[in-house]
Chains A and B, each alone.
Chain A
Amino acid sequence: MSSANFQAIYVLWLRQIKRFFRARSRLVANLVQPFFFLMFFGFGFGFIRFEGSLNYIDFLAPGIITMSVVFSSMFAGVSVIWDRQFGFLKEVLVAPVSRLTIVIGQTLGGSTLAIVQGLTVLGISMLLGAKINLWGIIPALIFMALIAFFAVSMGLIIASRLEDFQGFQLIMNLLIFPLIFLSSAFFPIETVPDVMKIVMLCDPLTYAVDGLRGLLIGSFALPMYLDFIVVVTFSAALMLIGAFVYSRCECV
């Protein structure tokens, strides 16, 4: 990849960071939601006991981290709808860089923000008493990044098909929420009926949550290499599909 493409990736990344820190309300909203989830679910289901010394909040924390990384990244991807409405997308799409470069730049920007958010949620959950394996945080960052790549690309692809944010609400409810709920973020995969287990195993986020949970609290339901392979494959595939979609679409 040429240095011009690196510049382009850098500036696309930089733009997202700047915009994020200038929109204060988004900053707050993005942290309040996971905080509430951890508080209410964590203490509400506090009576649940897992084998060993695990509490429900320990189990829940990696799930909520995944959820907030997914929401934040998805939002970064879908915010391209705004760029289109304000016309800025045209400026990006006529620039002398490949579509893949644009998707990478956009993805890295959104992912950076999502990882920062994921780490903040991690901090919050530790404050609320979750027992986190500190050595697992570094590899967990890689997992968070992969989840973010996956979700930003998905947001970008969704955005290319949508005219406005109304449509996004629908997709949120029909696609994103089921993906989150079926991902074992809230309940363990081992105890559900077989049919549901199959459905859950088809959800790529299951592997993401399981990977994070294994690294952060030392409890894998699936082999770690499988978690890793599935997450890498999905995020790479979605980035490529994103680049393809943007090279075809007349989305200006």
Chain B
Amino acid sequence: MAAIIAKGLTKIYDNTIVAVDHVDLEVKEGEIFGFLGPNGAGKTTIIRMLSTLIKPTEGYAHVCDHDVVREPDEVRRCIGIVFQDPALDDQLTGKENLDFHARIYGLSRNEREKRIMEVLKLVRLEDKADELVKNYSGGMRRRLEIARGLMHYPKALFLDEPTLGLDVQTRRAIWDYILNLNKSKGITIFLTTHYMEEAEYLSDRIAIIDQGRIVVTDTPAHLRSLVGTDVITVGCNDHQRLKTELEKKDWVEKVSPHNGSLEVYVKGGEGKIAAVVKIAEDIDVNIESINLRRPNLEDVYLHYTGRSIREEGNADGRMKMMARRRMRR
């Protein structure tokens, strides 16, 4: 069963800016669906449409089997959301913000107390709970927002760059909490992020979106395999002999010397390291170093959007990206 379905979903702002361009997607119930894309790709706009904050210009979307335009109240009853930009009342304390949320989401008194304590603990804000939010640091605000989003158990949870600007410790804790929510409560999670690591760690499937269009959707493992093979880099005392020997094996795609070591291109790298070592031993070549590089999501992202995360935003990066696009065509 699908928790979220979109067909031909389109949003045009002010009759000119095409933010989302005929997007089709389907998120299964209980799935964690990761959404990756450069700034301005349309991720937040999609979440806004799915959460009934804005109306699609074209196409339709169903969340929990309810149409986001015709049955917005029903959709809202089944979702939770952590926004990308701040959405706290800074004249209230942290705890009052959570209490507001709990009540407006109809949690019972017992549940309310329990959940507020739980999420405060998760984001390590127990000490600051009674402080006005306007005295919070940026990271503390972010943590409070996440805590709030995780407080009621929705059927579908939208997380728009949830861990942006958080320290590593907190991020880890939140990832594990999200995974746990997903496993134990079967909550469907729709996540956007710029962190490859986050997408890869959490998502069952990932969609890459660029300029309002989804360019590819697949599992992280499969996406990785799409962009190429693993590379085993070997340093040894006789490159030539090892190269000749390796090239005889049919599982080796290519061997090439590079920076004083050998690069061996194979499929399924981890299973082949032992074999490479064995071959070297058999022909009496001493291995000095060996390591495996697997293509990561960053490469996938680069492949599909023509730009790396780090390049975004600076003009130089844009130029390079355009040049690369032209080359690809």
A residues apposed to B, CB below 8 Å: 3-4, 7-8, 10-12, 15, 18-19, 22-23, 83, 86-88, 90-98, 247, 250, 252
Contact = CB atoms under 8 A, between A and B. Distances in A.
B77 A96 contact: yes
B91 A19 contact: yes
B53 A94 contact: yes
B83 A87 contact: yes
Contact of B100 (A11, A23, A90, A250): A11
A87 B101 CA distance: 14
Interface string B5-30: 00000000000000000000000000
Contact of B91 (A3, A18, A94, A252): A18
Given A250-B53, A252-B53, A97 B91 contact: no
B104 A7 contact: yes
Interface string B77-101: 1110101011111111000100111
Contacts of B77: 96
Contact of A15 (B51, B100, B148): B100
A96 B71 CA distance: 12
Contact of A86 (B51, B89, B100): B89
Interface residues of B, number: 31
Interface in B44-100: 48, 51-55, 72-73, 76-79, 81, 83, 85-92, 96, 99-100
27 contacts: A7-B104, A11-B99, A11-B103, A18-B96, A19-B91, A87-B85, A87-B86, A87-B87, A88-B87, A88-B88, A88-B89, A90-B83, A91-B87, A91-B89, A91-B100, A92-B104, A94-B52, A95-B76, A95-B105, A96-B105, A96-B106, A97-B76, A97-B104, A250-B54, A250-B55, A252-B48, A252-B53
A4 B54 contact: no
Given A8-B106, A90-B87, A97-B76, 20 more contacts: A18-B92, A19-B89, A19-B92, A83-B89, A86-B89, A87-B87, A88-B87, A88-B88, A88-B89, A90-B53, A90-B83, A91-B89, A91-B101, A94-B79, A95-B104, A95-B105, A96-B76, A96-B77, A98-B73, A247-B72
A148 B48 CA distance: 33
B76 A94 contact: yes
Top 9 A-B pairs, shortest CB-CB distance: A4-B106, A96-B77, A11-B103, A87-B87, A250-B54, A95-B104, A91-B87, A7-B103, A96-B76
A151 to B, nearest CB: 22
Interface of B: 48, 51-55, 72-73, 76-79, 81, 83, 85-92, 96, 99-101, 103-106, 148
B104 A23 contact: no
Nearest to A15: B100
B101 A86 contact: no
Counting chain A CB atoms within 10 Å of each CB, which of B76, B79, B81, B101 scores highest? B76
A7 B87 contact: no
A172 to B, nearest CB: 23
A86 B55 CA distance: 22
Contacts of A94: 51-53, 76, 79, 81
Given A96-B105, A252-B48, A15 B53 contact: no
Nearest to A8: B104
A95 B100 CA distance: 11
Contacts of A97: 76, 104
A21 to B, nearest CB: 10
A18 B96 CA distance: 10
A64 B213 CA distance: 58
